[in-house]
Amino acid sequence: MTPINAVTTLSIEDGIAVVTLNSPPVNALSVGVRDGLALAFGQLLGQADVKAIVLICEGKTFIAGADIGNLGKGGPQGANLLDCLKAIEGASQPVVSAIHGTALGGGFEVALACHYRVAVPSAKCGLPEIKLGLLAGAGGTQRLPRIVGAERALELMLSGEHVPSKACLEMGLLDALVEEGQLRQGAIAFARQLVADNRPVKKVRDLDDKLKAARANPQFFADFRKANVKKFRGFDAPEANIRCVEAAVNLPFDEGMAVERKLFLELLAGTQCAAQRYAFFAERAVWKIPDVPADTPVLPWENVGILGAGTMGGGIAMNFLNKGIPVTLVETKQEALDRGIATIRKNYDNTAKKGRMTQADVDRRMGLLTGSLAIEALASSDLVIEAVFEEMSVKKAVFKQLDAIAKPGAILATNTSRLDVNEIAAATTRPESVIGLHFFSPANVMRLLEVVRGDKSSGAVIATSMQMARKIGKIAALVGVCPGFVGNRMLAQRQREAQALMLEGARVQDIDRVLFDFGFPMGPFAMSDLAGLDLGWTRESSTGLTLRDKLCERDRRGQKTSAGYYDYDAQRKATPSPVVEQLIAELAAQKGIVQRAVSDEEILQRCIYPMINEGAKILEEGKAIRASDIDIVWINGYGWPVYRGGPMFYGDTVGLAHVVETLQRFEAKLGADFKPAKLLVQLAATGQKFQDPNSIKSN
């Protein structure tokens, strides 16, 4: 074996050359990997005693793509990837890529430039660039459609799906599967066979058959765009991806490559791509907890107890059942328990009806669920999650009971969305075992979990909770105890301003429109109507002084009563309500507010900048570890558009000095709610960003 450079080796045995890359963790296309490819292939091409070449990787995966951390950054450039691929495809000997783990993005593009591809059954391939706000910029958009056709290519590129080997083989993306664990031998044998059979080099760029269907249908791309308008709303990358496939269909290969390059560079320079690359690393950073290192021992847990079979309790239970983990569900009344279990079954039955689960899957899950009316049934649970009524006295009483019956070392978790976890923990004799696990509704669907560490939560309890979150497919952000934690605490800022703007004269539909156009799935008023205005409202406690009280008193409780902030028709289509407009005008007059026209810009800044400010306070108080954790909460729990990277990243994008100035302007006019946080002022003054590595520590 001859070293080519620090990450590349070359061996030649009986006329078969093997180029091996070894650049942990994922063999990303760093300078070293590209240089290694260029040098190795430079040596091999035209070497008469080399009959075929195998490209393979060491470690856990084939090349997982470009080095995302360095994409678009200056610095040492190394060999050009496109030149490497040209050399590989232009080789006179057949080149076989040997795939294990994942061949993704630029990695899959390297494989597509090879003449043949083999993989082990567990491998996956795909072009996930769309998730980074990008397109495959090394020929992927031109080669993929030439193998699978335009329709399939669009599906794969616009979903970013990691496609299992077997499906790749069926689509012609792979030429053969080789035995698991035998990739090197299998690929060499495959290459030998190519030589023995005198098979030609097969250049994907020369294929055309699969493109004919789209070429023959002039409506094809327009129809595809139309069918996906909703899905792609706000994102730049989907349209650029579609234009590349259009180019593949309608232009010669090299011209298509030029279109791809131009659009790739445009996306790469944009803020959406920057935001989505940031989100990629934010998702991975969230698991790193400075004072709970990765080697912290976790507590053994094999079963879960859930207290409360309502919507939250049932949804939480499904997460565990889905992963084959037994759940004991406890309620106080038989009827409530029966209802809770029936709802879980109904949810699974509906999934089965849609063909996304078999009846056996449903039965297996339901078989793992045990109902009980006695809290003692949780005595053997390793992890207990309380999801009872959101009231401190009730929670404390429950935790006192749990303390008495739970086994030593069991994790006692509360699903509170706003109450003081320390106070709840203090109701037990083991506050170190208590933690908050704030699931978001619907708990079986929403990806976010706020893990709320109490002052006394032990490292093992925190580490186990994070591991549990991963196991059930959540993304967890570790947050500290404060009212509303991270997500709801910041949401309160937006809600307050939405209400204030409404009284000042901004129309409900305009506030919603501005936030919808910003990229949220819906605005705050449409959201309230969907959730129901009477959540936590009772006629007895109504003051009649807020708009919400007035609406609820008139039975305008949201979509469910066909009236809330909006009027709804039978198809749930919303229209602005003259009744509500009248009520708002009256309320404003009562409060002595002179209504005025409010600009879209003011709506956006008043709703969003106080959130950024609150995020800064959260960081100042140490209630979140890093700004990107806050962004993860907002992207995954509150529909913040990922292409804007989260509120803190958005603050960085518009400029923290501008955020501070704007807040100060509002403070002068509207009062202390807008007073900029100390951290925000300091960062702005020193020209730093939230995302700068030491921005929090240095302040």
Which residues belong to the active site?
Answer: 109, 129
Q: Work out which of 18, 26, 463, 696 binds ligand 3H9, going by CB under 6 A.
A: 26
CB of 137 to ligand 3H9, least distance (A): 4
> Which of 26, 211 has the CB closer to ligand 3H9?
26
- Tell me if 284 contacts ligand 3H9 by CB under 6 A: yes
* DSSP 8-state code for residue 75: S
- Measured between alpha carbons, how far is 698 from 682 in angstroms, rounded to an integer? 10
> Which of 284, 400 has the CB closer to ligand 3H9?
284
The site string for ligand 3H9 over 79-108 (x = CB under 6 A, - otherwise) reads --x--------------------x-xxx--
CB of 302 to ligand 3H9, least distance (A): 24
- Measured between alpha carbons, how far is 385 from 413 in angstroms, rounded to an integer? 5
> Which of 329, 477 has the CB closer to ligand 3H9?
477
- Tell me if 157 contacts ligand 3H9 by CB under 6 A: no
Q: Work out which of 21, 98, 118, 138 binds ligand 3H9, going by CB under 6 A.
A: 138
- Give the CA radius of gyration of the chain: 29
- Tell me if 290 contacts ligand 3H9 by CB under 6 A: no
Choose one: 66-74, 220-228, 583-591, 647-655; the region binding ligand 3H9 (CB under 6 A): 66-74
**Which structure tokens are listed for 144?**
């993929």
> Which of 127, 677 has the CB closer to ligand 3H9?
127
| Pick from 399, 368, 366: nearest CA to 385 | 399
* DSSP 8-state code for residue 29: B
- Tell me if 66 contacts ligand 3H9 by CB under 6 A: yes
**Which structure tokens are listed for 251?**
């232009």
> Which of 277, 557 has the CB closer to ligand 3H9?
277
Q: How far is CA 676 from the centre of its chain?
A: 30
- Tell me if 67 contacts ligand 3H9 by CB under 6 A: yes
- Measured between alpha carbons, how far is 150 from 241 in angstroms, rounded to an integer? 11
- Measured between alpha carbons, how far is 238 from 666 in angstroms, rounded to an integer? 37
Neighbouring residues of 223: CB distance < 8 A, sequence distance ≥ 6: none
Residues 271, 653: contact at Cβ < 8 Å?
yes
Q: Work out which of 37, 38, 56, 68 binds ligand 3H9, going by CB under 6 A.
A: 68
- Tell me if 35 contacts ligand 3H9 by CB under 6 A: no
Helix residue spans in 289-333 (DSSP H): 311-322
- Tell me if 256 contacts ligand 3H9 by CB under 6 A: no
- Tell me if 129 contacts ligand 3H9 by CB under 6 A: yes
Residues 127, 144: contact at Cβ < 8 Å?
yes
> Which of 133, 558 has the CB closer to ligand 3H9?
133
> Which of 31, 201 has the CB closer to ligand 3H9?
31
- Measured between alpha carbons, how far is 381 from 328 in angstroms, rounded to an integer? 8
**Which structure tokens are listed for 200?**
């030609």
Choose one: 15-23, 126-134, 412-420, 539-547; the region binding ligand 3H9 (CB under 6 A): 126-134
Residues 623, 484: contact at Cβ < 8 Å?
no
- Tell me if 308 contacts ligand 3H9 by CB under 6 A: no
Q: Is 685 exposed, middle or buried (0-12, 13-18, 19+ CB in 10 A)?
A: exposed
- Measured between alpha carbons, how far is 553 from 539 in angstroms, rounded to an integer? 7
- Measured between alpha carbons, how far is 172 from 676 in angstroms, rounded to an integer? 58
Q: Work out which of 37, 52, 64, 413 binds ligand 3H9, going by CB under 6 A.
A: 64
> Residues interacting with ligand 3H9, by CB under 6 A?
25-26, 28, 61, 64-69, 81, 102, 104-106, 109, 128-129, 132, 134, 136-138, 140, 284
